[in-house]
Structure 1
Amino acid sequence: MNIDLTGKIAIVTGSTVGIGHAVAIGLARTGATVIVNGRKQEAVEKAIAKIKEAVAGAKVEGVAADLGTADGVSAFVAAIPSADILVNNVGIFDPKDFFDVPDEEWSRFFEVNVMSGVRLSRAYAQAMAERGWGRIVFISSESGINIPVEMIHYGFTKTAQLSISRGLAKRLRGTGVTVNAVLPGPTLSEGVAEMLKDEVAKTGQTLEEVGEAFVKAHRPSSIIQRAATVEEVANMVVYVCSEQASATTGASLRVDGGVVDTI
């Protein structure tokens, strides 16, 4: 399958590291002009350099903005007033017991994980519909279905993304704009590596080995019995952004290694 998005402008939020960065590289390979985003200019510049190193002739720009705030989204939209593809990837997580999560943390998770995508979709979707083509993708999680007891405040935001993506797909019916959610499972991103670093140091095992042990202990329903790579998740995202995925909309597409035990 030859995915060609030449001439399309693709925004990937939270794309300086992790799944977002892998998605940005994947979209750059399709010929799209990719807009990288992170909170710090230095991180954005490093990410741009890495993408150009990975993809010869990559067309990539960057905007540093905190998309967890309304002001940050406004600044971003002022810098990038139009887009054909929007990948709402920016997100935060933090394992913490329900009784230790104060109100302000619930609000912060909602603003970053949910409202960033709401605000950006509101800013770009209508123009996509007027042009008759567009792709919006919310990076949710298997945690939106399989709520993790250690991160209830995170899981609820991922469930919210599923509701928004499905509802927005219906709102944009017949316009040529598709809206989908992609649900990764445990994935060896930089964030997960940080979470597992103490175990790596203690055991002397590789990150992949510790990740596999984590999956078997905490996500035993996994069928692949290991953590996914960021590239494996990015492959699905790039596909749903493609011309070839024109009949896929309103979907929740799992790249969870089979963690969610349902048909």
Structure 2
Amino acid sequence: MNVDLGGRTALVTGSSQGIGAAIATGLARAGARVGVNGRDAERLERSVGKLRAEAPDGDFVAVAADLGTEEGAAQAVDALPDVDILVNNLGIFGPTPALEITDDEWRRYFDINVLSAVRLIRSYLPRMTDQGWGRVLNIASDSAVVIPTEMIHYGMSKTALLAVSRGFAKEAAGSGVTVNSVIAGPTHTEGVEDFVYQLVDRELPWDEAQRTFMRNHRPQSLLQRLIKPEEIANLVVYLSSPLASATTGGAVRVDGGYVDSILP
């Protein structure tokens, strides 16, 4: 398939590394102008430099803003006011025993993982519907469906994103704008390496640690390995394209068969 996003502008939140960086690279390679987002301006510029090395023909714009706040969302919209493709990838995660999750932590996870997406959708969706074309993609997780016992607050936030996606897809009905969520499975990123080593022996070499983690903590994965960030990006690039014009209101899985269901 020939995915051509020439002339389109995308914003990928939380894209200085990991899955977000892979998505930004994939969209740029397909021809989109891509806003790359992170909180720290200096670190973000270094990340953009790495992305330009991976996609020399890519057009990247640094969007430094803390999207977990209303002020940060406003800064991002000011920096990149015209967005055709919005990928809400920003998210935090980490293990905490269920009965030890404080009110502040519940709020923090909801603010960063859910409200950051809602604020940007509110800002960008009207222009998309006015022009009759747009793509909104919210990066969810298998944890939205299979709530992990070690981080219920994270699972809650990703379940909420599924509802957000479905609701805004209805708001955009008939406009030419599609809104979907992507259910990403356990993926190999730097943050996930740290997470894995919180749950398995830190003395294990990475390959063995990964296998132990998947065997003991994610045994239902049919892939039986961590997903590569670019494998998530491939689906996002497709859903961002005109080729996916009939896919909206969906929760599309790239989870390595982790969710034990024959439906999305």
**TM-score normalised by length of structure 2:** 0.96
Map of 2:258 onto structure 1: 259
Question: Deviation string for 1:114-170 (max 9, x for gaps)?
Answer: 000000000000100000000000000010000001100000000000001011111
Which AA in structure 1 matches 2:223? I
Residue 43, structure 1, aligned to residue 43, structure 2: yes
Question: Deviation string for 1:190-222 (max 9, x for gaps)?
Answer: 11012234657401x22x442232112111111
Map of 2:72 onto structure 1: 72
Aligned to 2:94, what secondary structure does the other structure show?
A: coil
Runs (4+) of structure 1 exceeding 3 A deviation are 197-201
Matches within 5 A, 1:1-263: 1-197=1-197, 199=200, 201-203=202-204, 205-206=205-206, 208-263=207-262
Question: Deviation string for 1:23-63 (max 9, x for gaps)?
Answer: 00000100100000001001210111111101122100011
CA distance in 2, matches of 1:127, 1:146: 35
Deviation at 1:22, TM superposition (A): 0.3
Contact 2:29 2:57 in 1 (8 A): no
CA distance in 2, matches of 1:249, 1:211: 34
Aligned to 1:211, what secondary structure does the other structure show?
A: helix
Deviation at 1:257, TM superposition (A): 0.8
Which AA in structure 2 matches 1:240? L
Aligned to 1:117, what secondary structure does the other structure show?
A: helix
Aligned to 1:183, what secondary structure does the other structure show?
A: strand
CA distance in 2, matches of 1:61, 1:248: 28
CA distance in 2, matches of 1:253, 1:52: 29
CA distance in 2, matches of 1:152, 1:138: 19
Question: Deviation string for 1:82-110 (max 9, x for gaps)?
Answer: 10000000000010011111100000000
Tell me how large the CA RMSD over aligned residues is.
1.1
CA distance in 1, matches of 2:98, 2:202: 28
Which AA in structure 1 matches 2:46? K
Equivalent pairs: percent with the same residue? 50
Contact 1:188 1:211 in 2 (8 A): no
Aligned to 2:161, what secondary structure does the other structure show?
A: helix
Long gaps (5+) in structure 2: none
Which AA in structure 2 matches 1:73? A
Which AA in structure 2 matches 1:21? A
Which AA in structure 2 matches 1:225? Q
Contact 1:113 1:158 in 2 (8 A): yes
Aligned to 2:87, what secondary structure does the other structure show?
A: strand
Long gaps (5+) in structure 1: none
CA distance in 1, matches of 2:211, 2:254: 16
Contact 2:77 2:123 in 1 (8 A): yes
Aligned to 1:140, what secondary structure does the other structure show?
A: strand
CA distance in 1, matches of 2:181, 2:172: 15
**TM-score normalised by length of structure 1:** 0.97
Deviation at 1:78, TM superposition (A): 1.3
CA distance in 2, matches of 1:245, 1:160: 23
What is the aligned residue count? 261
